[in-house]
Amino acid sequence: MTGAEALHNTIDLARLTDALGYHRYWVAEHHGGPSLAGPSPEVLVGPIASATTSIRVGSGGVMLPHYSPLKVAESFSILSGLYPGRIDLGIGRAPGTDPMTMFALQRDRRDAAPDDFPQQLAELLGYYGDSLPANHPFTRYAKILPGRPETPEVWLLGSSPQSAIWAAELDLPYSFADFINRDGAGIVADYRARCTGAPPGVSVGVWVVCADTDDEAEEIASSGAMMMALLRRGELIPVPPIDKAMRFVRSEQIDLRNPHGRRRRIIGAPDTVRAGLEQVAGEYGADEVIVVTIIHDHAARRRSYELIADAFDLRAGGALAAEAAADRR
């Protein structure tokens, strides 16, 4: 589909998942590729929140090294003021792109951007918590953020041991990308061990495709599998149609449902997917699971989320959340 169609489908899927009872809807930040039309989560979050009623909406995540912490704080303060109690700010360290695109995103291109993520993150949190030192040159901005008294719920995203250390040190909820690194259970356990009190929250992002049968789900999942396989080779392509993707999968002898493959994929009918998600949640001790589904056909993507919602009986919880949202209005 075109980028514009993908953006409209993102809002359509948000409306659907809101009605189905999902708890959060996060949009990622990726630059410079033909497969994903999501370089600006801070721009997408507002329209998504406006089109929905009760689901939390946020970034998964904002790639902080590209930005001024104050600018990010202001943007998500505005969103929090407009949609109180519904905005999440997931923060990531990765560039979300290749080195040349990262350089193109820099405002000052005389030198490479410094690697000062911990300092950036501490400054960002200082604005929301109004905890910058009294002699800090930027202290006054914390009190005049436009959305106050509302603030977003800040999460740290990660797929490595270092992110777990930072999340624990800063007492942040931690969202681990199992779809990038399937060996993260030990990293999340280390996060919990480092937290001085009860961990504020753990979620795990998992690559999932659900359909009416296991075989149908495998065919649908081939599009994302081909895209990711070529991405690892440095080849950037749009998400391919199923017939093209299945030819590639067969020629490369990719076992889409191999539970021991390099990347974990949970693919199948509702019972298969529910069992797989419960297994992953158990491995990580996760409070929440984030379902990541990149496939070619929007109708099939909608159907995947419907089937997962039914498998976990999310609709009942969604009705209660909608009632609570109506009461707030």
Instruction: Encode the chain (329 residues) as per-residue pLDDT tens digits.
Output: 899 999 999 999 999 999 999 999 999 999 988 999 989 999 999 999 999 999 999 999 999 999 999 999 999 999 999 999 999 999 999 887 888 888 888 888 888 778 899 999 999 999 999 999 999 999 999 999 999 999 999 999 999 999 999 999 999 999 999 999 999 999 999 999 999 988 999 999 999 999 999 999 999 999 999 999 998 898 999 999 999 999 999 999 888 876 556 678 999 999 999 999 999 999 999 999 999 999 999 999 999 999 999 999 998 765 555 565 556 55
Unique residue bearing structure tokens 């298969």? 272
Distances (CA, A) of 79 to 54, 72, 219: 15, 11, 38
Tokens of 209: 């495709």
CA neighbours closer than 13 Å in the CB half-sphere of residue 326:
6
Label the pairing between strands 265-268 and 56-63. unpaired
C-beta separation of 175 from 157 below 8 A: yes
User: Whole-angstrom Cα distance, residue 281 to residue 205?
Assistant: 10
Q: What is the pTM of this model?
A: 0.92
- Domain covering 1-158+314-329 in this structure, CATH number: 3.20.20.30
pLDDT the model gives residue 321: 54
Please give the Cα distance from 158 to 162 (Å, whole number).
8
Rounded Cα–Cα distance for residues 294 and 220 (Å): 10
